[in-house]
Amino acid sequence: MKAQFIEIPLTKNEDKQRFELTYEGHIAFIDYKETSSTIALIHTEAPAALSGTGAAAALVEKTLNFIKESGKTVSPYCPYVYAFILKNPEWKTLVSPRFPKYDELMNDAKA
């Protein structure tokens, strides 16, 4: 995570069912669905103004940390989150075995 994002808090917006990170007046977010044991990450979106800043990656990392600290697992339905986990295999331990592409993710040669 880039240094400028370390101190920026992650917001869990339960009304909109999304995790949010606000940077330079813009909001990047990840839509989620939650059960008692798993948080499914559905869609990540960052405004064009944040393109190339690392905001989306910081948002994903902060969200995964939140899920880890909550004692839940993650189902990375969002392609961006899935790709992030492939690039950062230390997060694979957080993926729910019930996630439909679990075996594919765990056995990916890149990781």
pLDDT for residue 110: 54
Is the CB of residue 41 less than 8 Å from the CB of residue 81?
Answer: yes
d(CA 35, CA 21): 22
Residue 40 amino acid letter: A
Residue 61 has pLDDT above 50, yes or no: yes
User: CB–CB of 28/21 below 8 Å?
Assistant: yes
Residue located via tokens 């902060």: 62
Q: What is the pLDDT of residue 41?
A: 98
Q: What is the DSSP letter of 19?
A: E
Tell me how far apart the alpha carbons of residues 6 and 46 are, in angstroms, rounded to a whole number.
17
pLDDT computed for residue 109 by the predictor: 58
Percent of the chain predicted with pLDDT > 90: 95
Of the pLDDT bands very low, low, confident and very high (cuts 50, 70, 90), residue 108 is confident
Q: How far apart (Å, rounded) are the C-alpha atoms in residues 62 and 60?
A: 6
pLDDT tens-digit series, residues 3-40: 999 999 999 999 999 999 999 999 999 999 999 999 99
Tracing tokens 């909109």 back to the chain, one arrives at: 16
Q: Quick one: pLDDT band at residue 1, thresholds 50, 70, 90?
A: confident
